[in-house]
Structure 1
Amino acid sequence: MDGHLLIDGHLDLAMNALDGRDLTLPLEELRRVDPVPGQTAAVSLPELRAAGVKVCFGTLFALPAGPDHAGYTDHAGARAQALAQLDVYSRWEDAGRIRILRSGAEVAEHLADPGAPLGVVLLMEGADPIRDADDLLFWTDRGARVIGPAWERTRFAGGTDQPGPLTPAGRDLVRAMRELNVTLDASHLDDAAFWDAAELGVRMVATHANSRVFVDGNRHLTDEMARAVAATGGVIGLVLLSRFISREWQEGQPGVPLGELARHARHYAALVGWEHLGLGTDLDGGFGVEKAPAGITRYADVPALLDLLPPEVRAGVAGGHWARWLSTHL
């Protein structure tokens, strides 16, 4: 599959940069000097350009402290992480390596420019860097256009493997998002928090979320959730992580066949139509190509997924559906 516009709904670019990866290097060179152990990189800025990626959602991701890793323990720590990542994107933009996209008009202009660098839409994954609803304007002024209230549980919402509804502060934040035209990323929301947000009438996408029909757990979308995202006009991004594709996959096994992810795509399409599907690969999002589907050895291999879809929908899933959504709603 060649020649289609690619837009990726979820890449942790700045997180990887602050982990010591120089994403300005060609992928082969990055791999030779990669400081991240046990995770073979798939993504660099030259790799994305060579693969034909025109736009991606680039995350501001603050990692909470855990039993096996350091991270934030309070709002100030989360904010510091997100600000450091924002600085990475700003420095890349100053150097002409990326362009931060802040409006639908900018997206349309960017997509029409064949010489433009990678366009980046800023996505906050887990809202703990935000102090409260009044602080949202600080982040939108700096380019944040999509916010996922949870990763694990946050001060705002229950999240992956940590169930719970929107907190009172979460309700205030979602209302503020609705008023400021900020889209909610439902990807990590627990079911209770998801439906609380849906009732508040916020626009939603799921930048990187596969179907719970094939994989268990609240990290994945139920059919009802997928329909609710689509009902707001939203797009769902398909994730290229083996354990998010098959409930049978176990750590250390070869990657699942790429056709298993195509099964998720067909299931979603039967529910909501192909026009609500896109890519949200999450490659290098805390895992390497060792955990990607079979045949995905670098980002340039991603279009192989599209070859498994009906020919008439490939361009839309590759990037056309995200392009339409961004041009209309950003």
Structure 2
Amino acid sequence: MWTDAHLDLAFNALNGRDLTLALDTLRQREPQSPDTATVTFEELRRSGVGLCLGTLFAMPQTAEHAGYTDWREARVQALAQLDQYRRWEDAGHISLLRSGGEVRQHAANYDPASSPLGVVLLMEGADPLRDVDDLPFWAEAGVRAIGLSWGKTRYAGGTDAPGPLTARGHELLSGMRELNVAQDLSHLDEQAFFEACELQPRCFASHSNSRAFVDGNRHLSDEMVREIGRRGGVIGLVLLGLFLKRGWDVGQPRVSLDEVVRHAEHYAELIGWDNVGLGSDMDGGFGNEKTPQGIDTYRDLERLADALPPEASGVMGRNWLRWLGANL
């Protein structure tokens, strides 16, 4: 059974994508989309994905996007996505998993012909939380992991927004440790990273590639990678061309799948294959125009599985299953 540690399922659904459709039908419904869809529930099932981390992602206001401007607006977005996951569960498309025991049971009983997709809720960017006192509400709702940042949040610096942990960030990480809510280190700026690992060492990086091959604070330095390895965490590989090859941009030929393997092998050299996984983000605001050559639908990730060396057999599923089963 494959495991993908980062899919923005509800975010995309609330932006008009019906993931219950067949992929061909979905694509026919949005022929003018600049980001051709690659993910549906059927695609995931036919690929062998039985478990994922599904995000609650509140989009902040940017030059390109209307979005939240304060925690109240961020909370509205996250609550709407939470409701979407619950409606999918009621309809039998997914099963929300709230503990390591439930993850292990789901994996043991999973039947690709009949089982729903197992989903562990991950909050990507902590701004939907009013403060640390709001954490029990989200934990009770099923959120099992939180990443403090996307860009800069009230809790820490993030992608393209350098900065340390704030006082709120210190309080939240301490609260997460007490409630056994894991920490996703993806998007966290390096100024905050190492202190965050100390405050909540139950941590991983759901979707982060290596800074050795792509510049910028969105990516992990070798020392950050080693720190995750020292904590026993897993790092998920992202399938976005911009995050795979230095200097690549839309309009150029798509990057080779070998670039994904290069990031994977670099991580394995630093922390071992058991700490490398998949965090494709393939429905995270980009379509197959930005995925590697040959990855036109989610099912094409079979080519990545075939391209990895034999010792990397846990990357597509087993490594995340082990971590989630032991740490949630």
Q: TM-score, normalised by structure 1?
A: 0.97
Paired position in structure 2 for 1:323: 321
**SS of residue in 1 equivalent to 2:6:** strand
| 1:177 and 1:202 in contact (8 A); partners too | no
Helix, strand or coil at the partner of 2:51: strand
Distance change in 2, residues 1:79/1:216 (3 Å): same
Distance 1:201 1:141, change over 3 A: closer
Give a deviation string over 1:71-121, Cα, whole Å, max 9, x none: 000010000000000000000001111000101111111112223210001
**Residues 165 and 196, structure 2, Cα contact 8 Å, conserved in 1:** yes
Higher mean C-alpha deviation, range 299-308 or range 237-246: 299-308
Within-5 A mapping of 1:8-87: 8-34=4-30, 37-87=33-83
CA deviation digits over 1:109-141, x for unaligned, max 9?
Answer: 111222321000100000000111111110010
Work out whether 1:132 is the aligned partner of 2:131. Answer: yes
Please give the secondary structure, in 2, of the residue aligned with 1:32.
Answer: helix
One-letter amino acid matched to 2:246? R
Q: Which residue of 1 aligns with 2:254?
A: 255
Cα contact 2:183–2:200 (8 A) shared by 1: no
Contact 2:126–2:147 (8 Å) recurs in 1: yes
The whole-number CA distance in structure 1 between the counterparts of 2:261 and 2:252 is 20
Query: For residues 300 and 224 of structure 1, do their structure 2 counterparts lie closer, same or farther at Cα, with a shift above 3 Å needed?
Result: same
Which 4+ residue blocks in structure 1 deviate beyond 6 angstroms? none
User: Which residue, 97, 103, 107 being the options, matches 1:107?
Assistant: 103
Give SS of 1:278's match: strand
SS in 2 for 1:305: helix
- What SS is found at the alignment partner of 1:189? coil
3-state DSSP of counterpart to 2:317? helix
Q: Shift of the alpha carbon at 1:25? A: 0.3
Distance 1:158 1:89 in 2: 28
For residues 201-249 of structure 1, the C-alpha deviation after alignment (integer angstroms, 9 at most, x for no partner) is 4311000000000000000001111111122211000000001000131
Q: Distance in 1 between matches of 2:29 and 2:193?
A: 41
Q: Which moved more, 1:282-291 or 1:109-118?
A: 109-118
Q: Does 1:303 align with 2:302?
A: yes
| Cα separation, 1, equivalents of 2:299 and 2:131 | 40
Q: CA deviation at 1:35?
A: 7.7
Contact 1:254 1:290 in 2 (8 A): no
Amino acid at match of 1:298: T
Contact 1:226 / 1:272 at 8 angstroms: preserved in 2? Answer: yes
Instruction: Tell me by how many angstroms 1:36 deviates.
Output: 7.3
Matched to 1:323, the amino acid is L
* Unpaired stretches in structure 1, ≥5 consecutive residues: none
1:284 Cα deviation (Å)? 1.7
In terms of mean alpha carbon deviation, does 65-74 or 266-275 score higher?
65-74
- The reply to whether residue 209 of structure 1 matches residue 205 of structure 2 is no
Task: Give the gaps of 5 or more residues in structure 2.
Answer: none
CA shift, 1:286, in A, is: 0.7
SS of the counterpart of 2:45?
helix
SS at match of 2:274: helix
Match of 1:186 in 2: 185
Equivalent residue letter for 2:323: W
Q: TM-score scaled to structure 2, two decimals?
A: 0.97
Q: Which residue identity lines up with residue 102 of structure 1 in the other structure?
A: R
- How many percent identity over aligned positions? 60
Aligned partners of 2:311, 2:197: CA distance in 1, in Å? Answer: 31
CA-based RMSD of the aligned residues comes to 1.0
Q: Is the 8 A contact 1:21 1:35 kept in 2?
A: no
